[in-house]
Structure 1
Amino acid sequence: MSDKNNGRAHCEHEMILLARLLQFSDSTLPVGAFAFSNGLESAIQTGVVSDAKSLERFVETVVRQASNMDGIAFLHAHRSAMSGVYDAVLEADRELWNRRVGEEQQMMLARMGRKFAELSLKISSFPDLERWLADIKAGNTPGCFPIGQAMALAHMGADEKQAFVVHQYGVSAMIMSAAVRLMRIDHLDTQRILFSVQGRVGDDYERVSGLELDEMSGFAPVFDVLVAHHTKTHVRLFMN
């Protein structure tokens, strides 16, 4: 094949990959994200979030926490999937599950993880996800959403930086989707906040990309209190 044809094929591959990354980062992807607020509902009920400014601070905190916890497991799962080391993927799955505080947080990870695997297998062939879903059903692994997402993006050929961006975007987009249903805020403000928060993704990647699984941490006491509050509240729209 000529250099011109090689270049054209590479360009086409990159365009298809970008299109599929956009699809898999879309907030409307039917994996159940709409049912979770990632702590925002309790943050509003307790007054931690009351306006656009406090919402932006909350999203920044959650995104930073996600990079320190889910993001590390995500990167390890992506690297393991790229290397074909399936047992290491399962290790990342278990390590993330064991560090998630609260029943509702674990429920979010497991429900979205399973739905993501089922959706992916409906639209294309993902051998690792098929094996992973079977292990979830057999009770051999918890099935955390970031782990399934990492495997799918690795299979599609996304490098770890591209994949990390997709993961981090999904965290903030979930909260923004909940915000427009929970508080007096318009889509212009949510889009401004979303745009601003994405500006930290490179720094977050550089901070956590060299860390090991046992260095995952999620020290955010206020967030943990909000998670506990939501478990006991009687009036709620979201599952966490």
Structure 2
Amino acid sequence: MLTGMTMVITTTTTTITRTATTIIMTDPVALSRLMTWLSPAFPVGSFAYSHGLERAIHDGLISDRLSLTGWLEALLDRGSGWNDAVLLAEAWRCTAAGDGIEEVAELAEAMAGSRERHMETTLQGGAFVDAMAAWGGERPTNGEGAITYPVAVGAAAARHQVKLEDALVAYLHAFASNLIQACVRLVPLGQRDGVGTLAALEAVILRTAQRPAGSTLDDLGSCTVLADIMSMNHETQYSRVFRS
């Protein structure tokens, strides 16, 4: 028995609120096609090109994961990766609107900064168009001219109702991934460093993919002069593994 004392028991009730999350999924057919078209196994020969990185490694400008990450970030944000994204977006819009892609295709071809860059983008573009025959449909042409790789991908994505934003993310991811794999062999880097580099570039890939949504051809332009010089110097490199 308790005398002169009051015992108070306080009960605390915890309320757990669960917020419903809506997940918006990409069309599975479009996703499957993007994964196929931009897979390293798709027969465009991307494994044969280093985009001038072989020369940059030869000259000691890329020697580890940090220097590689910085180099690729510049290409994606304000170099050839950015220009490819703008050209892809324009080809997508033209095709979606039912317009021809001849003008953007000619401009894309003229944008190649060196002989090897021109070879890299036109041969991959032609190979991509050839491989797309498996999906049937209209074959994009540029008269007697070549179809560059980003223009070919943009036109195909629009014809198959693939969202522009999804096509841009997939293209830029493949662009970076292919160059990282070249450096894994050449620097050399370990596979973990290669994956780490791709993870570090995730934000810039997504950011660059979002920007062309409101872009026009007036937004074309780059300031990665050293990367262009490396591509030009690679043309005369005595011993090399890659075609660019």
- Specify the TM-score bucket, using the shorter chain as the normaliser: 0.7 to 0.9
CA distance in 2, matches of 1:92, 1:158: 19
**3-state secondary structure, aligned to 1:76:** helix
Within the alignment, does 1:42 sit opposite 2:55 as a pair?
yes
CA distance in 2, matches of 1:68, 1:172: 12
Give the superposition deviation at 1:184: 2.1
CA distance in 1, matches of 2:39, 2:184: 17
Which residue of the partner structure matches residue 197 of structure 2?
193
Which residue of the partner structure matches residue 76 of structure 1?
90
Within the alignment, does 1:126 sit opposite 2:137 as a pair?
yes
Amino acid at match of 1:124: W
Query: Cα deviation per residue 1:44-82 (whole Å; 9 max; x = unaligned)?
Result: 001110011111111112222134311111100001111
Structure-to-structure mapping, 1:102-181, within 5 angstroms: 102-121=114-133, 123-127=134-138, 130-132=139-141, 135=142, 139=144, 141-181=145-185
User: Could you say which structure has the larger radius of gyration?
Assistant: 2
Which residue of the partner structure matches residue 207 of structure 2?
203
Over the matched positions of the two proteins, sequence identity in percent amounts to 22
Query: Contact between 1:66 and 1:171, CA under 8 Å: does it hold in 2?
Result: no
Give the superposition deviation at 1:22: 1.2
**3-state secondary structure, aligned to 1:223:** helix
Amino acid at match of 1:52: R
**3-state secondary structure, aligned to 2:60:** coil
Amino acid at match of 1:147: V
5+ long unaligned stretches in structure 2: 1-24
Query: Contact between 1:126 and 1:152, CA under 8 Å: does it hold in 2?
Result: no
Which has the larger helix fraction?
Answer: 1
5+ long unaligned stretches in structure 1: 1-10
Query: Cα deviation per residue 1:144-200 (whole Å; 9 max; x = unaligned)?
Result: 011111111112211110111111112101101211221221111111111221222
TM-score between the two structures when normalised by the length of structure 1? 0.86
Give the superposition deviation at 1:37: 0.5
Give the superposition deviation at 1:105: 0.3
Q: How many residues align?
A: 220
**3-state secondary structure, aligned to 1:154:** helix
Within the alignment, does 1:219 sit opposite 2:231 as a pair?
no
RMSD over aligned Cα, in angstroms?
A: 1.8
CA change 1:197–1:126 in 2 (3 A) is farther
CA distance in 1, matches of 2:231, 2:188: 22
